[in-house]
Chains A and B, each alone.
Chain A
Amino acid sequence: MGNGRQDFKTDAAHALADTALQKALQNVKRGFVVKREAARAKLPEFDTLREDARAIKDHTLSHLDLYLETYERKVAESGGSVHYAPTAADARAIILKLCQEAGAKLVTKGKSMVSEEIGLNAHLQAAKIEVVETDLGEYIVQLRGERPSHIIAPGIHLNKETIEADFRRAHHRLPRERRLDQAQYLVAEARKVLREKFLAADVGITGANLLIAETGSSVIVTNEGNGDLTSTLPRTHIVIASIEKIVPTLEDACTILRLLARSATGQEITTYTTFATGPRRDRDPDGPSAYHVVLLDNGRSEMLGNEFADMLRCIRCGACLNHCPVYGAIGGHAYGSVYPGPMGAVLTPQLQGIDRARDLPNASSFCGRCEAVCPMDIPLPDMMRTWRERDFARGNPPFSERLFLKMWAYAAKRPLVYHALANAIVLFMARRAGARGRLSRLPLAKAWTGTRDLPAPQGRTFHSLYTRARRRGRV
């Protein structure tokens, strides 16, 4: 997945032809979009909150080192430990070590995109540790050996018949004649199966939507409650979070939480929002006895100093995915990245390099809807364009594209040349189209004419007609 350029176009073509996927994507285009708008309509302060949130993140990022230091101190005060991981490999190694120190045979996981980013599950499994995703969508894609296709709704590309087949295959010890044809039966089965895992887990690993410097807390939002069972039941709780998740205070968390669920799913708030601070206290009857936070850099500090710093404001709501016509057409897997959609188009080249990920920022019409709905005011199209500049500077675009652009630019900078050539070209095209008024085939234009006719030019350029009309005193 995502080995090179050809994958994107091939994967996109498959996605476009996949009728089940296309049907499922309607839930994104119709569901999330409509619900977000409804939530926004119910909260008159929505746009002011976006300004507040942007200011919070900008302030935090410009003082990131200091807030991390404060956060670390507070975590230690509450009895937890912070581990810095400069790279994905560091994070994997730290977490594996913590799991081994805890004697872990079974690890449950709350949904964490960062854990996907670093390839954590495979690493733990290679060390003979069983890893079970507990977010229902994540559990299902784990059964399928797939990667999530959406950062909020990992299994949104699947329909219930597919999920039923997966459950029957994976839960093969359960009675064959049981009903699984409705969502409620599938959920009930998942609840039962995963309950055993929750209770037996040695270590629970969650991500964090936010880290709070003031109190040394990590925050997760879920609707299912799986994150809480993951973090509360095992002996050890490990939080894996990237460094830009931090905000200064509880009030700052409030502001961002007001935007997060509304932007993501259109809910006013998720069912459960949990603030976790350290391990169990002396008198606590439940909770983990060890609490570890792994702070991942993996390119974030570099972004602080480059043109992509604004991307660090992202709160991973997924609104940009939901409103993107490209994501809506091809779904998440075609992007070949943990992070699809517009935010993925900006983040993935930073993580994988522009050479490998060049299709992501290039496959955009720059419609700007992502930026319009982003609660954190991130200029996504501008940053995709910046990636295109880097891509171009490295000579990555195909030769024919670069040649055509060079020729076009040469003419565009020389009006006389341009006008002369333009006249010749449109005359040729108009003659070729004839009375039909359009061209279904044209040399060098197969990319267009494969699916669309090309409207014929009217036959002369405006400039030549205008000059003639002026000469005749008609304008």
Chain B
Amino acid sequence: MSAPEETRAAVLDRIRAALGVASLDHARRTAVVRRLERHPRGTIPSRATRRGEERVALLTDMLTKQGADVSRVPTQKEAVGAIASYLGTCNLPPRLRMGADRVLAALPWREAWDIERSFGRAGPGDRASLSRAVVAAAETGTLFLVSGPDNPTTLNFLPEAHTILIAASDIVGSYEEAWDRVRAIYGQGTLPRTVNLISGPSRTADIEQTIVRGAHGPSRLLVLILG
């Protein structure tokens, strides 16, 4: 096997030969740099331009169609109540795995004193988890969750029931607006290890096109819209 440098050069040279261009073509390089800097948007669907309550309704509608349970909770207290009751609905013991997210930590947990909370990444024994989404795009009911100690990625996939909290004010219309929010947090051209766009509970149609929930990820997803 050739050295990595050689194979790299081989592939890039072949590409340039096929395109009939030279490596040091200044105009091409400028075009690329400019486009990356500008990161222009394409066509944004008109449904993504809804505002206010219409936008929240769109998110709710999309998520519900995609198999999620969605609840609007005006206050933090009701949020905690909804979480507790969801665990009951799912027939799960009152144990919840979550990360170090401060907003989630600041919820009035004394209102659900019997929920045993534990913190950190999820393990195979964790049956219910709670995360917070940084932003959601209403256009397809898509929540954006970022990796890190606040909301470890494994919380999104290992447990049977997953609850995602999203502030109503963090719901935008389009994917592009959502990414701008992410950029605002992490900077240009930099992302955390993972950004999970989640639009419903896990499902598969691989057996005769019959939809079954909980293929590998959570079979139940509760989205709590706060505020």
Per-position binary interface string of chain B over residues 1-42, scored 1 when its CB falls under 8 Å from any chain A CB and 0 otherwise: 110100110111011111111010000110110011001111
Assess A228 versus B176: contact at CB under 8 Å? Given A49-B43, A248-B35, A271-B198.
no
> A425 within 8 Å of B by Cβ?
no
Tell me the count of chain B residues lying within 8 A, CB to CB, of chain A: 84
* Segment at the interface with B among A119-127, A218-226, A392-400: A218-226
Choose from A74, A191, A277, A285 the contact partner of B192 (Cβ within 8 Å).
A277
Residues of B within 8 A of A140 (CB): 206
Interface residues on A, range: 35 or more
* Segment at the interface with B among A62-70, A99-107, A335-343, A366-374: A62-70
> A302 within 8 Å of B by Cβ?
yes
Choose from A70, A280, A285, A306 the contact partner of B32 (Cβ within 8 Å).
A70
* Segment at the interface with A among B79-87, B101-109, B163-171, B210-218: B210-218
Smallest CB separation, A133 vs chain B (Å): 11
Choose from A43, A153, A229, A279 the contact partner of B193 (Cβ within 8 Å).
A279
Smallest CB separation, A320 vs chain B (Å): 19
- In the bound complex, what is the Cα–Cα distance between A226 and B46 (angstroms)? 32
> A442 within 8 Å of B by Cβ?
no
Check B140 against A269 for contact (C-beta < 8 Å).
yes
Tally of A-B Cβ pairs under 8 angstroms: 282
Check A301 against B11 for contact (C-beta < 8 Å).
yes
* Segment at the interface with B among A83-91, A402-410, A464-472: A83-91
Check B19 against A137 for contact (C-beta < 8 Å).
no
Choose from A154, A274, A286 the contact partner of B154 (Cβ within 8 Å).
A286
Check B43 against A52 for contact (C-beta < 8 Å).
yes
> B60 within 8 Å of A by Cβ?
no
Assess A248 versus B179: contact at CB under 8 Å? Given A224-B217, A284-B149.
no
> B195 within 8 Å of A by Cβ?
yes
Check B15 against A64 for contact (C-beta < 8 Å).
yes
Residues of A within 8 A of B192 (CB): 277, 281
Choose from B32, B198, B214 the contact partner of A272 (Cβ within 8 Å).
B198
Residues of A within 8 A of B29 (CB): 66
**Which residue of chain B lies nearest to A64 when distances are taken between CB atoms in the complex?**
B15
> B196 within 8 Å of A by Cβ?
yes
Q: Which residues of A contact B (CB under 8 A)?
A: 24, 27, 31, 43-45, 48-49, 52-53, 56, 59, 62-70, 74, 77-78, 83-86, 90, 93-94, 134-137, 140, 153-156, 159-160, 163, 183-184, 186-188, 190-191, 194-195, 198-199, 213-215, 217, 223-226, 228-229, 231-233, 243, 248-252, 254-255, 257-258, 265, 267-281, 283-287, 295, 297, 301-306
Per CB-CB distance, the 5 closest pairs between chain A and chain B, nearest first, are A225-B217, A305-B18, A224-B215, A52-B42, A304-B18
* 12 further contact pairs, Cβ within 8 A, besides A224-B203, A285-B99: A49-B43, A63-B32, A84-B12, A135-B206, A225-B217, A232-B194, A233-B154, A273-B197, A273-B199, A286-B147, A287-B193, A303-B18
